[in-house]
Amino acid sequence: MTTENNRHYKALELDKILEMLSGFCSCEDSKYEAVRIEPQTEIRDAQRLLDETESAYILLAKFGGPSFGSLKNVNNSLARAAAGGVLSIRELMTICEDLRVIRSLYEWRHRQSGVDTGIDTKFSALRPNKYFEDKINTAVLNEDELSDNASPALAEIRRKIRRQSSSVREKLDSITRSSAYQKYLQDAIVTQRNGRFVVPVKNEYRNEIPGLVHDTSASGATVFIEPMSVVEANNEIRVLQGKEQDEIERILAELSAQAGEFENEIKYSYEIACELNLIFAKAQLAYKMKASVPILNNNGIIDIKSARHPLLDKNKVVPVDIRLGGDFDSLVITGPNTGGKTVSIKTLGLITLMAMCGLMIPASDNSKICVFKNVFADIGDEQSIEQSLSTFSSHMVNIVDISKHADSSSLILIDELGAGTDPVEGAALAISILEDLRAKGAKIAATTHYAELKAYALQTDRVENGSCEFDVATLRPTYRLLIGVPGRSNAFAISEKLGISPSVIEKAKEMVSGENIRFEDVIDSLESRRAEMEKAKSEAEELRRQNEELKKKAETRLEDIEEMRRKEFDKARSDAMRLVENARREANSLMFEVDKLKKELKNGGRNAEFVQKAKSQIKKSMAGVDSAVNPVTESADDGYVLSRPIKVGDTVKLAGMNSEATVLSLADKNGEMEVQSGIMKLRVKADRLRLVEKPKQKTRSDVKRVGESRVNADVSTRCDLRGMTSEEAIMTLDSFIDSMVMAGLKEFTIIHGKGTGVLRSAVQQHLKRHPQIKSYRLGTFGEGENGVTIAETK
């Protein structure tokens, strides 16, 4: 049974939702399929449809929707072409438009990279046919005419027709301009009759211009004559026009035959395009409703959060939370008329059907929907005059039918259960019906006015009360659904607010049984307590929200301060390093000048001594600059305690920095130690040093020398050549390499400084030729960069 014919679906207004969906479809076939969508009763099918909708929803959000243009069904035309028929120009243009849409869809998806979706297989299944599309575009000019480019033969025929027509017009123009003929002509124009060029001649002069008469005016005053001088030329034009028509028929037949060859391919791609059109229509409907993707299950669990009826004004509708199938299987909703009871169960049923159709639902995220085999609804006044059925009878007929088909995979929605008859009998019947349906395992939501059903729900396991809130102070319903709270009739309170005499109200209360009064008082007490708890909860939520905001602001402020502090520290470090680099560059330049001066000096006595003293002074100044500007630490007060006293040669870390250094001298009277980190020598406070305990490496301390002697292999792996000339540096380096080889050490560091690069170049040229050197490279960040060279022995 289709949605159109299922009265339960129509009672829940699913047909109106599907009609809204069809409005977002571009092609007629998609619109047709939209209104005929059936709710899926298998969870895997419903989930597949829902996944497709979510995929389109994601693509819409990221890239916008693709264009489906004016997609039309061309199956009949293709079938006729496949059978050997010749298609019209209009039919070919429609096929061409479909091919354009199919190609644009395929290209659109392949342009959007980086997102994989569940409908990518549908896009990939499209079969663009650019060849046939271009061929039709080239051949067709408009709906009534082929282009000259359709074939070379057609272009040649039309060129001859234009040339011949021009020749005829020239001859006729000469007649119309001739003074000898002007008095015979009605107008000095050239026109056509029956596809032949003629001139309008006055009837009384028809014999003055020899030729063939093709037509006469309505008044008879004018005859249209084809002069004998152009008869042959007009005949030639008619022959060419016949050839033109034959060529057009041939071209159309050729294009039609090709369309027939591509019949299956085009039909298949068209069907895929229609499916995609419907899927994207679902996504667009979801955007309009501000819908979300529900979590489907087949365990009978429904938990819809902030559900909104999709057919009500979204600016006025009150969201409701609806639960069923978890703690309870039956929900009995009570409350005054126009309070929202019917809307609540219709919202429950409609949203369930929407999810089963693969539609996203107008509710909050993480709402849960069960996929049912059957959804039954008895809602509204279905009084039938034709069948002589009262309101009560028509409801009973529906309930009888529902009861026959109900099972454990059914959702049953009943409005005003047991209404329309004697209240006592109606209440008893309502309870009995609920018991019967519950025994079959169905999930039930029913509305009622009977107090007996409130008591039944309170006393029966897995049956829960629900009510639609009513504000007695304003005499208006709030439309909120409250689960777990039975509704009050509020008849006395409403009547009193409307002006009924208090004496009348009191007399009416006396007529109500004591049990009913006590029951209503209990409900009133529960309602008051619930309202107080909700108010307290709301206030607590507001406080929590404010605290969260304050916490976020504090965290953001703390992050800003930390970021500002870090930037300032980085800036200070950068400035300090720049200052050190400038000082070093100037010092290296000065040492270069001193070396140059030394070479120029003839004698090396006191002058050489003076030069060496100047070099020492410069190096001492550089160490002082390094010590003054290098940012050793941000803070050393971290409670660190040395495991043993520091001694010369120990490896240490500088507090607040990740770099390691070697101790060169113990603490002086100011408590400062001299350390070397990379190529920089620093003086730092002893409490800023952190001892690095490294495991002892196995060394070859006993290496054979001449005469079987042995030497200690505890050799420094750093060779400092700064301040030396190239010749001095090479000699020192050779000696250092020998000690490395004898100690069995593989890697060592040569400190030559940055300077002008002369010493670095000399060192690396020597290493390149040295027989004991396997490889060498410049230092990296933290090793000294281009101020050092790291070498490896063979």
Residue with tokens 């819908």: 291
pLDDT given at position 4: 61
Residue with tokens 């049912």: 372
**Residue 352, exposed/middle/buried by CB under 10 A (0-12, 13-18, 19+)?**
buried
Residue 514 clears pLDDT 60, i.e. is over it: no
- Give Cβ neighbours of residue 135 (< 8 Å, ≥ 6 apart): 255, 258
Helices 130-139 and 89-111 cross at an angle (nearest 10°) of 140
pLDDT tens-digit profile of 700-732? 444 333 333 333 434 578 888 887 888 888 888
pLDDT tens-digit profile of 239-268? 998 999 999 999 999 999 999 999 999 999
DSSP-assigned letter for residue 175: H
Helix, strand or coil, per DSSP, at residue 374: strand
SS (H, E, C) 24-74: CCCCHHHHHHHHCCCCCCCHHHHHHHHHHHHHHHHHHHHHCCCCCCCCCCC
686-712 residues labelled b (16+ CB within 10 A) or e (exposed)? bebbbbeeeeeeeeeeeeeeeeeeeee
Task: Report residue 171 as tokens.
Answer: 């001859």
pLDDT given at position 533: 75
Helix and strand numbers, DSSP H then E, in the chain: 22, 25
Q: Which residue has the higher pLDDT, 316 or 108?
A: 108
- Give Cβ neighbours of residue 408 (< 8 Å, ≥ 6 apart): 300, 440, 441, 442
Residue 388 clears pLDDT 50, i.e. is over it: no
pLDDT given at position 255: 95
pLDDT given at position 679: 59
Looking at 385-511, list the stretches that DSSP marks H as alpha helix, in order from N- to C-terminal side.
Answer: 391-405, 423-439, 451-459, 491-497, 502-511
Task: Report residue 253 as tokens.
Answer: 């037949």
pLDDT tens-digit profile of 658-685? 667 888 888 887 788 888 876 567 778 8
> How far apart are the C-alpha atoms of 727 and 735, rounded to whole Å?
13
Residue 513 clears pLDDT 70, i.e. is over it: no
CB 348 within 8 A of CB 287: no
DSSP letters for 290-358 = T-B--EEESSS-EEEEEE--TTS-TTTPPPEEEEESSS-SEEEEE--TTSSHHHHHHHHHHHHHHHHTT
* Residue 668: φ, ψ to 5°: -90, -165
SS (H, E, C) 568-594: HHHHHHHHHHHHHHHHHHHHHHHHHHH
Residue type, 530: R
CB 418 within 8 A of CB 426: yes
* Residue 778: φ, ψ to 5°: -75, 155
Helix, strand or coil, per DSSP, at residue 186: coil
pLDDT tens-digit profile of 580-625? 777 777 777 767 766 766 666 655 545 555 556 555 655 555 555 5
pLDDT given at position 529: 64
